[in-house]
Each structure stands twice: as C-alpha cells, then as structure tokens.
Amino acid sequence: MALIHRTTLKPTKLELLTTWLPTRPWYEGGTGAPELTKAGGFRLDDPEGEVGIEFMVAIDTSGPHPASYLVPLTYRGAPLDGADHALVGTMEHGVLGKRWAYDGCHDPVLVTQLLALIEGRVQAQAQSISDTPDREVTRSYTGPALPSTATATATDDQDGTELRLTDSTAVLRLHRRLRPGAEAPEGALGHITGAWELPDGTRVRAPFAVL
C-alpha cells in the first residue's frame, strides 16, 4: 500500500494546478487565475511502489459558480521519458526530494491501474490516509478481459480526455469537468464513480471515468 507522508511540498499541488489548469481545453474559468481548493478524490497503488497515483477533485471558485475538476496526477522521482508535454510541474517533497508531477492520462502506470480498478482487480485507496480503502469509489464492468498492462493515446477536448487503448478497441473517457448527480451513459461497458464535497458542504457523486 502507498504510504502517505505528512510533510511539505514546494510548490504545493494546488499552486501547480493554478498555472496548469487554464492551459487545458476543458477548463471553463474566467480571465483571472483559478482559486482552487481540494475537494476530494482517491489514490491507486503502483505495484512497483515507484509512482504515486492520485485522482484529485479541485474546485475553482474564481467564476460566478463553483466548478469541479477531475485531475489525475502521477508523481515520479525522475522524469518520464517522452512525456515532457504532460508535465504539470516539479515539486520539492520534504521526505522524497524532487518530484515530477504529470497529467496522469499520459502515464502508462496510471492507465494500467485505472483499468484494473474498473475491472475490479484493485481497490481505490483513501486520498490522505495510508492503507485505507476508499469505500465511496464504486466501479462496474461487463466487457471482455482488459489488458493487464496498458498504454493509451490521450486526447483532450472541451468535454474531457479520451484515452484510446493501444492493445484494445476500448475507449476510456475521463470527465474533467464533473457534473454532480450525473450518471454513466447507457451502453457503457464500465465506469468509475467517485465523491467530493462542494463549497457549501454538500457531498455529491458523479462518474469520473466511463469505458
């Protein structure tokens, strides 16, 4: 299980996202900088214990209405080859030293573990507590066996990110702008649904990813 360190990050994750989010086509903010808070999410374990995998929900209150964004991130102790375009930024971790933070949709470790979660081979972990399953994350899958090791081509559009799996006909869509109360579309082979908290304290749910 991933160990959650109680330490410092410079800059913080939200500080990195404040610069990075406005560069995304699915970001719907205004002309000013985002005003972000962490509102939820979960983690997945890397079987090799090398890569941190986090699905963060960040709420932006800079506009007339709060907007909830899903940000899958991976944290590495060295640069990921061929992924300069997916680098969110670097941070100095108080225990682990320099860390490279990537848009996880471009990281094969995250893609592999996300498919394992959809298929029920791994379990979502609490975002901020070591060795604790996140019971609010639910999943379903009704299709054929998915690849045990996966790579994908990630494409952003105004609605989210589409992942076309290299060794499969399956297409995985990540909802980047989350809509509270939404449901997975009919005909989907599988989905992952998670929860987060709105600024008024309301706990809400919506699909994070649909296959």
Kindly report, residue by residue over 131-148, the tens digit of the pLDDT.
899 999 999 999 888 888
Q: What is the mean pLDDT of residues 103-130?
A: 94
CA–CA distances in Å: residue 169 to residues 152, 163, 164, 182, 189: 11, 11, 8, 25, 12
The pLDDT of residue 129: 84
Inside any domain, residue 4: no
Inside any domain, residue 87: yes
The pLDDT of residue 155: 96
How confident is the model over 14-63, as pLDDT tens digits?
999 999 999 999 999 877 899 999 999 999 999 999 999 999 999 999 98
Exposed, middle or buried: residue 66 (CB in 10 Å: 0-12, 13-18, 19+)? middle
The pLDDT of residue 151: 85
Inside any domain, residue 180: yes
Q: What is the mean pLDDT of residues 197-204?
A: 96
Inside any domain, residue 168: yes
| CA gap 60, 36 in Å, rounded | 5
The pLDDT of residue 137: 97
Inside any domain, residue 92: yes
Name the residue range of residue 46's domain: 9-210
How confident is the model over 148-194, as pLDDT tens digits?
888 899 999 998 999 999 878 889 999 999 999 999 888 899 999 99
Inside any domain, residue 183: yes
Q: What is the mean pLDDT of residues 186-210?
A: 95
How confident is the model over 68-107, as pLDDT tens digits?
999 999 999 999 999 999 999 999 977 777 999 999 999 9
Number of domains in the chain: 1
Q: Could you identify the residue written with the tokens 């599988």? A: 190
Inside any domain, residue 181: yes
Q: Is the pLDDT of residue 7 over 70?
A: no
Q: Is the pLDDT of residue 199 over 80?
A: yes
The pLDDT of residue 1: 55
Q: Is the pLDDT of residue 6 over 70?
A: no
Query: pTM for this one?
Result: 0.93
How many Å from the N-terminal Cα to the C-terminal Cα in the chain?
26
